[in-house]
Homo-oligomer: A and B are copies of this chain.
Amino acid sequence: MTLLSTLETPCLILDRSRLARNAARMTDRFANSGVQLRPHMKSAKSIDVARIALAGNFGGVTVSTLKEAEYFADHGIEDITYAVSVVPEKMPRIAALIKRGVKLGLITDQLAVAQDLSLRAQAEGVTLDVLIELDSGERRAGLLAGGSAVVDLGRALHELPGLRLTGVLTHAGNSYQCRGLADIQQVAEAERLSAVTAATQLRAAGLPCPVVSVGSTPTATHGLSWEGLTEMRCGVYMFGDVFQSEIGSHGLEDIAVSVLATVIGHRPDMNSALIDAGGLALSKDRSTGAPGLAEDIGFGMIMSEDCRRRIGSVRVGHVYQEHGMLTADGPFPFDQLPIGSRVRVLPNHVCMTAAMYDGYRVVDAGAGPVVDLWSRINGW
């Protein structure tokens, strides 16, 4: 049995009871909604986490890389949506996944891509399930619902050999800019309307649209209507982070992933201290990118070693490659953070922080012990 106190720092800790609670809450939310929950595994990248997220759901997942798709297929998941704009150059790995029996959903917003995919699908002897990607306000990728391009692309996907028009898909990533419940509800409704509008257009044109898919953690948590939708994709809800808690997706006590770190220096002359978790241990995703939040916690919030209590107002105000510089409002609580003592850092953005590690040290709750090691599938 490994005690938390014997782990080398920095390392990544996953609180299994918080994870299970977060997963169950989202599963329950969609249990009788008519909408299938297809958890996005891009934050967790772990089959062990996926099994918890999939409990009570239909079994399909969302991924952000083909490496994730291959990994989850290796672990028996057979229904996977690869929710990043596909390019025909990635066809060999896609065809290999389909040939081994995976029901693989692809997305595009480009007619030229559809035409190229059709040629390559025929050459490979496979049929590709393709969803039309919509931009419901994020301004990243996707067509605008209501425009003629939706039907043009839908018709191409329906008629071109080797392709199957599977539906429409959007992601309200702009919900991350929301500040307040009403704001999130409005973005959730725009997300829903985008998908439903495009589905209606396709069906009015005599085209099929079996899947009407939306998803982001804030909109999944606070949306008021799922009318016309068939599928919800969200992911960060499993772990949570300080950013999500500040925009109201969950409480601080729900955050399931943290970085265990050691205090390595005191700077009384600067009212600060140093920990051995810097930019490589926490990522450089800093909260100041999010104006209007309750508190700027920099790169992370400093908790007690059992992760149950915040240490004053202490946060990671600045990071160097291997140093995190702690700051606080008012006098720094040096007595609570002696050199050599350990803290848990709640990450600002867990997807980026978790990606700095090969795996999770799993605890049942609080201060441990470590009950398992779960690996992650990083890379591409």
Chain A residues proximal to chain B, CB less than 8 Å: 8-11, 42, 64-66, 84-90, 93, 109-110, 112-113, 116, 139-141, 173, 262-267, 270, 274, 276, 279-281, 283-286, 320-323, 325, 339-340, 351-352, 355-358, 378-380
Contacts and interface: CB of A to CB of B under 8 A. Distances in A.
B380 A274 contact: no
B322 A88 contact: no
17 contacts: A8-B93, A8-B380, A9-B380, A64-B321, A64-B322, A65-B322, A84-B276, A84-B323, A86-B264, A87-B262, A89-B340, A109-B265, A110-B266, A141-B265, A280-B378, A284-B284, A284-B285
B173 A320 contact: yes
A42 B340 contact: no
A378 B325 CA distance: 21
A340 B88 contact: yes
B265 A322 contact: no
B357 A379 contact: yes
Given A110-B266, A340-B116, A352 B279 contact: yes
A321 B68 CA distance: 14
Contact of A274 (B90, B140, B351): B140
Contacts of A112: 339
A321 B42 CA distance: 9
Nearest to A88: B340
B321 A85 contact: no
Nearest to A144: B269
A139 B274 CA distance: 11
A350 to B, nearest CB: 11
A274 B141 contact: yes
A9 B66 CA distance: 11
Contact of A87 (B116, B264, B356): B264
A16 to B, nearest CB: 22
Contacts of A11: 380
Nearest to A280: B355
B325 A140 contact: yes
B9 A284 contact: no
A152 to B, nearest CB: 15
